[in-house]
């Protein structure tokens, strides 16, 4: 057995067991057991699984994890940046980030273990080095921790919203020039695997966007999520009537790109070793460039919604 260690900071009012089950992807029953055994503390104290978290409360987790060693596999992805503590990779559309129950195809993690076997001991055994994720259909930049120290520091940055991200999205219709979408998101009670605005149990979510231009009845957006909810950008843009092109779950399949038109473009964070803010951007996929034309160079000069 190996120990999973994590330090998290509560973002809003939510039950402790539910929050950790979603955040760590561990069953609620296992989370409850660990809480009762004193392996999960809130502000250094033992609390009940039903404890309602308050924003800013510090959660420390140190639990035994079933051993799981991802098999190394040849997986195609590009390394954008690398040093002694982190990797930044360009995940292609169609590649799943990490192994999970029922997944038989190679994942990004399997590819990482193949080329950087030392990552296997960093963070979660099932998701070694992974501090954030992208949907299978979404392409773009992802940070990966190469050391336990970098893993812990990056996790804390994501929890405290010190990491800034931008995405390129091509959506249906003509959007306003800018927009804020401050709508809470939760699991859709009627559709397994979907999330929705106005669900029974929701979590705060905020997405802002900036229109770069319009082409053939579509809008090209730079989108910046200030929270990291599952499917957040897809749910928010669909809710305001501008679903992402090629989104078969929240819009409709097909479209001019032949895939989900969502790409993680740039990320800004504090380097865990150098302790200086760093900005990295991914290469814009060829299918986006072919569709956007001259807007490609324009979006490269903007990078983040606030600029």
**CATH architecture, domain defined by 164-269+284-302:** 2-Layer Sandwich (3.30)
- Is there a contact between 260 and 244 (Cβ–Cβ < 8 Å)? yes
The yes/no answer on whether domain 78-159 falls in CATH 3.30.2350.10 is: yes
pTM (two decimals):
0.84
| Shared fold status for 2-65 and 164-269+284-302 | no
Do 7 and 152 touch, CB atoms closer than 8 A?
A: yes
The answer to whether the CB of 41 falls within 8 A of the CB of 7 is no
* pLDDT computed for residue 307 by the predictor: 61
Active-site choice (135, 180, 188, 247): 135
For 111-150, b/e burial (b = at least 16 CB within 10 A) is bbbeebeebeebbbbbbbbbbbbbbebbbbbbbbbbbeeb
Name 190's Cβ contacts closer than 8 Å, sequence gap at least 6. none
Phi then psi dihedrals of residue 181, to 5 deg: -125, 90
2-65, which class in CATH?
A: alpha beta
Give catalytic status of residue 180 as yes or no: no
Per-residue tokens: 284: 């814009």
- Check: CB of residue 269 under 8 Å from CB of residue 157: yes
The H-or-E segment that residue 164 falls in is strand 164-172
Which DSSP helix (H) or strand (E) runs through 156?
helix 148-159
pLDDT per residue of the chain (307 residues) written in tens, 0 to 9: 567 778 888 877 788 988 888 777 677 888 898 899 899 999 999 999 989 998 888 999 988 766 677 889 999 999 999 999 999 999 999 999 988 766 778 999 999 999 999 999 898 877 899 999 999 999 999 999 999 999 999 998 998 889 999 999 999 999 999 999 999 998 887 887 888 997 666 788 999 999 999 999 999 999 999 998 889 999 999 999 999 999 999 999 989 999 999 999 999 999 999 999 999 999 999 999 999 999 999 999 999 998 6
Tokens 């160079």 correspond to: 297
pLDDT value at residue 66? 67
Can you give the residue ranges of every domain in the chain? 2-65, 78-159, 164-269+284-302
Give the Å distances, CA to CA, from 185 to 52, 115, 189, 229, 232: 18, 37, 12, 7, 7
pLDDT at 170: 98
């Amino acid at each position: 057995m190996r120990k999973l260690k994590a330090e998290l900071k509560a973002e809003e009012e939510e039950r402790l067991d539910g929050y950790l089950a979603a955040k760590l992807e561990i069953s609620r029953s296992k989370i409850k057991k660990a809480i009762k055994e004193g392996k999960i503390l809130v502000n250094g104290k033992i609390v009940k699984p039903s404890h309602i978290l308050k924003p800013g409360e510090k959660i420390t987790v140190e639990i035994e994890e079933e051993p799981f060693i991802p098999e190394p596999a040849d997986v195609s992805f590009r390394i954008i940046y690398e040093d002694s503590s982190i990797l930044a990779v360009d995940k292609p559309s169609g590649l799943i980030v990490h192994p999970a129950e029922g997944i038989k195809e190679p994942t990004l993690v399997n590819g990482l273990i193949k080329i950087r076997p030392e990552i296997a001991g960093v963070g979660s055994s099932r998701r070694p080095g992974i501090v954030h994720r992208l949907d299978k259909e979404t392409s773009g930049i992802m940070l990966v921790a190469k050391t336990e120290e970098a893993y812990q520091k990056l996790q804390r940055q994501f929890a405290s919203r010190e990491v800034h991200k931008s995405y390129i999205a091509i959506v249906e219709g003509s959007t306003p020039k800018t927009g804020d979408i401050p709508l809470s998101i939760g699991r859709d009670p009627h559709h397994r695997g979907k999330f929705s605005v106005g669900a029974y149990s929701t979590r705060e979510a905020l997405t802002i966007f900036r229109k770069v231009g319009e082409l053939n009845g579509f809008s090209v957006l730079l989108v910046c999520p200030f929270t990291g909810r599952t499917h957040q950008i897809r749910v928010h843009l669909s809710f305001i009537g501008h679903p992402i092109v090629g989104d078969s779950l929240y819009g409709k399949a097909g479209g001019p790109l032949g895939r989900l038109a969502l790409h993680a473009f740039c990320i800004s964070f504090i380097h865990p070793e150098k302790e200086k803010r760093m900005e990295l951007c991914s290469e814009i996929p060829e299918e986006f460039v072919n569709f956007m034309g001259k807007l490609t160079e324009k979006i490269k000069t903007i990078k983040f919604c606030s600029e």
